[in-house]
Structure 1
Amino acid sequence: MTNPVVPFSEPPYLAGLPSPYYKETHLKWQKACRKFVQENLLENALEWDTAETLPEHVFETFAKAGMLIPSLPAPLPVEWLKRLGIHELLDVLKVEDFDYIHTMIYCDEMARSGLAGPSGSLTTGISFGVPPILKFGNKQLQERYLPGLLTGKKRICIAITEPGAGSDVANITTTATKTPDGKHYIVNGTKKWITNGIWSDYSTMAVRTGGPGPTGLSLLVVPLKGYPGVNMRRLKVGGQVSAGTTFIELDDVKVPVENLVGQEGMGMRYIMTNFNHERLTIAIGATRQSRVALAAAMEYVMKREAFGKALVEQPVVRHRLAKCGAQLESQWAWVEQFVYQMTQMTKAEADVELGGLTAMLKAQAGIVLDECSRCAVLLFGGNGYTKSGQGELIERIYREAPGIRIPGGSEDVMLDLGVRQLIKNFRNKTKAMERPAGSSKM
């Protein structure tokens, strides 16, 4: 018999229910991951988020323990990690055994504070800024940047969004023009809402090297912190402030042509494949945030009394909890199924078959978080509307919901993209099954 857990406070597999997805390696990883994250992040997460910045030693602790590495897409870059002396994670998991279920567990545990800012301040840069270099960068680019980035000695961010181009990536206006001698790009433009930017030594940046539209885009590793022509300032946003949202101005920034990621004109393709990992990890973290909010509400209504009895004795209260609980557990079941599918497919297959569904999964995670956090605020009453006291965390989670529904591809764009991709896949498969004209072959 397992110890009782507050309803909705843990995924079913951690609440004692059977699951087909988790092997012994996953369960060992979950225990080790929880212990490390609890001790080094969660115990002070709310305090640090209130201060709007994590102390530098937190990043250093995670980097030294190799606990930034699990934010990368699975499978991990095993050859690189072993070259750098990283063979195991937390002494329980060989880097070559790491799969997307381990990723899911890591993202879920990192979000157990209920806040996206503290974990995002540590992982967003390596999670989204490094993969394009790993996947598309040539040998010299990787040799120059990966050793420092994978060990946490240097920091990076992904810099795509601009004041006039967010989900509409093809509308990016930041230019990278080659010098007459062909040795450098001169970068001019602005980037906005760049998570981790203020602390980053480099950025994997979307720039326009060609004409208008998606075929004119490229990716470039652009130095940031202290680099000539780069000016950065932090932006105060509604939530996740501790993640270091940044406005970047680029004025004649001189970047060696060797910093090009892959080929000129392929930037849009690189960006879109990178988005899948970003959206999946956002969805996992947001689902845990929903869980934290709803479980806190459940605990509160079981002890809070009104009209002579506990709030949970009121049918209307149970109805609110039931509706949100059904959404939450349905969302988690989709996350688990989705991640399992990732472990059974090649990257190329997953990009095609799951690309649109990833967008929908991310959008749905934001919708569920909005519902669960709103429910928690209402059930906490005045305490849920107060920035201190027993409802402080709930008030903050509710403010973070838009930070899930907008970044990484805004909700309406994601829902539309998902359906368009499903239709495209269906039509392509249908066309492939058609008989050639004049052929008797099926």
Structure 2
Amino acid sequence: MGGLPFTEGHEIFRKTVRDFAEKELFPHQKEWEKGKSFPREIFGRAAELGLFGVVYPEELGGSGGDYWYKVVACEEMIRARMAGMVMDLFAHSDIATPVINEIGNEAQKKEFLVPAIKGEKIGALGITEPGAGSDVANISTTAKKEGSDYVINGAKTFITNGTRADFITLAVRTGDKGYQGISLILFPTDTKGFTAMPIKDKLGNHSSDTAELHFENCRIPARYLLGDENAGFIYIMQNFQGERLVGALMANASAQLTVEDAMAYARQREAFGRPLIKLQVWRHRFADLLSQIEASKCLTYHAVDLFNRKEECVAEVSMAKLISCDLANRIAYDCLQIHGGYGYTEEYDVARYSRDVRLLTIGGGASEIMKEIIAKRFGM
């Protein structure tokens, strides 16, 4: 691709999002991280600023912007320094709802997508199960047709927004075993027989609402089927591309911020009679990290460019997620190391970052799955 397509409109939006992250969200970091939650009202405020509708059509209440507006949102929201909270917001706007826009009918969009863009309803994506994570084709939650209804039984786990979601874009088995028997259903969480239990004891992403979901004879109208029955696996794979791009963009931006924090620390922290940053070992380490971030950003922007133009980009998106998320974890290690013992305390943000970033190589498709996808795309 040529020069970056950020216009004046993108930069105005960038300032709006940065101010929101730094002035309205970050001041509550300690409280919300310790409390392992944040107010529901934040969804409404994010909607007011256009975060949820930035790439959705105007007729649905969105702004109709290109995907570079989403890039801006991802790069600036990390300045809230609460990966869990940010993950919840993007899980709502970029994981649970895009597939409704792509394959939902007008009634489904009106009932679920429009209020989601307004921040009036919160969405979650329900795929992962206690016995099926990366192996999406083997999910066991069932939806059996009974007259004009589906009756759902089963369980999901590690579901972002799980306890506060108003609806779940839910992967269920409507057919035989394997990928050809999976469907997507829009599931209202006020349905009788549904329960959600919070998962509180996590390594990181403390401010995120993560839950285990249970479905016991939950009866919903068949009109909530998304797209065609037994075609859900393909829809899920297509939906993953946006989720993985968001992951890559946030990995790069948070890595950049963490390196900048570490460089600032190294300028003021002295050892052996001079600032750490004057030691060649650390100057060279920072030079390596900055170069690797820039390379990862270029790869990710290339994938964004293809995605924005609706061109084939599965391999490129998988590469971007693989490289950026692995790199972010290496940067967490190096940047904590330069802080020494202080990095092992909560005094500096690198401790939180090191916990939170570990999820990036697991969620949205593990790094090992990214390698399998890339290998298959190149005929291996």
The TM tier, using the shorter chain, reads over 0.9
Give the structure 2 partner of residue 4 of structure 1: none
Give the structure 2 partner of residue 80 of structure 1: 60
- With 134-143 and 185-194 compared, the bigger mean Cα shift is at 134-143
After superposition, the Cα gap between the structure-2 partners of 1:119 and 1:157, relative to the gap in structure 1 and judged at 3 Å, is same
Is 1:372 the counterpart of 2:339? The answer is no
What pairs up with 1:29-428 in 2 under 5 angstroms? 29-70=13-54, 74=55, 76-81=56-61, 95-96=63-64, 98-179=65-146, 182-224=147-189, 226-235=190-199, 236-343=201-308, 345-346=309-310, 350=311, 353-386=312-345, 388-389=346-347, 391=348, 393-423=349-379
C-alpha distance in 2 between matches for 1:242 and 1:115: 7
- With 122-131 and 39-48 compared, the bigger mean Cα shift is at 39-48
Whether the aligned pair in 2 keeps the contact of 1:194 and 1:246 (CA below 8 Å) is yes
Whether the aligned pair in 2 keeps the contact of 1:155 and 1:199 (CA below 8 Å) is yes
* Residue type at the aligned position of 1:281: V
* Residue type at the aligned position of 1:32: T
In the TM superposition, residue 246 of structure 1 has moved relative to its aligned partner by: 0.7
In the TM superposition, residue 145 of structure 1 has moved relative to its aligned partner by: 2.1
Whether the aligned pair in 2 keeps the contact of 1:201 and 1:223 (CA below 8 Å) is yes
After superposition, the Cα gap between the structure-2 partners of 1:273 and 1:395, relative to the gap in structure 1 and judged at 3 Å, is same
TM-score normalized by the length of structure 1 = 0.82
- With 58-67 and 405-414 compared, the bigger mean Cα shift is at 58-67
In the TM superposition, residue 296 of structure 1 has moved relative to its aligned partner by: 0.9
- Alpha-carbon displacement from aligned partner over 1:169-201 (angstroms, at most 9, x marks no partner): 10111000111xx21111111101101111101
Give the 3-state SS of the residue equivalent to 2:177 in structure 1. Answer: coil
Give the 3-state SS of the residue equivalent to 2:154 in structure 1. Answer: strand
In the TM superposition, residue 48 of structure 1 has moved relative to its aligned partner by: 1.8
C-alpha distance in 1 between matches for 2:229 and 2:73: 34
C-alpha distance in 2 between matches for 1:259 and 1:335: 35
- Alpha-carbon displacement from aligned partner over 1:114-137 (angstroms, at most 9, x marks no partner): 432121222312321111211112
Give the 3-state SS of the residue equivalent to 2:324 in structure 1. Answer: helix
In the TM superposition, residue 49 of structure 1 has moved relative to its aligned partner by: 2.2
C-alpha distance in 2 between matches for 1:20 and 1:292: 20
C-alpha distance in 1 between matches for 2:177 and 2:15: 50
Which of structures 1 and 2 has the bigger CA Rg?
Answer: 1
Whether the aligned pair in 1 keeps the contact of 2:21 and 2:78 (CA below 8 Å) is no
Give the structure 2 partner of residue 8 of structure 1: none
In the TM superposition, residue 340 of structure 1 has moved relative to its aligned partner by: 2.7
In the TM superposition, residue 383 of structure 1 has moved relative to its aligned partner by: 0.7
How many pairs are equivalent? 378
In the TM superposition, residue 53 of structure 1 has moved relative to its aligned partner by: 0.8
* Residue type at the aligned position of 2:78: A
Whether the aligned pair in 2 keeps the contact of 1:21 and 1:340 (CA below 8 Å) is no
Specify every segment of 5 or more residues in structure 2 that has no aligned partner in the other structure, as ranges.
none
C-alpha distance in 2 between matches for 1:42 and 1:19: 32
What pairs up with 1:427-438 in 2 under 5 angstroms? none
Superposition CA RMSD, Å? 1.8
C-alpha distance in 1 between matches for 2:5 and 2:192: 50
Runs of at least 4 residues off by over 4 Å: none
In the TM superposition, residue 230 of structure 1 has moved relative to its aligned partner by: 1.0
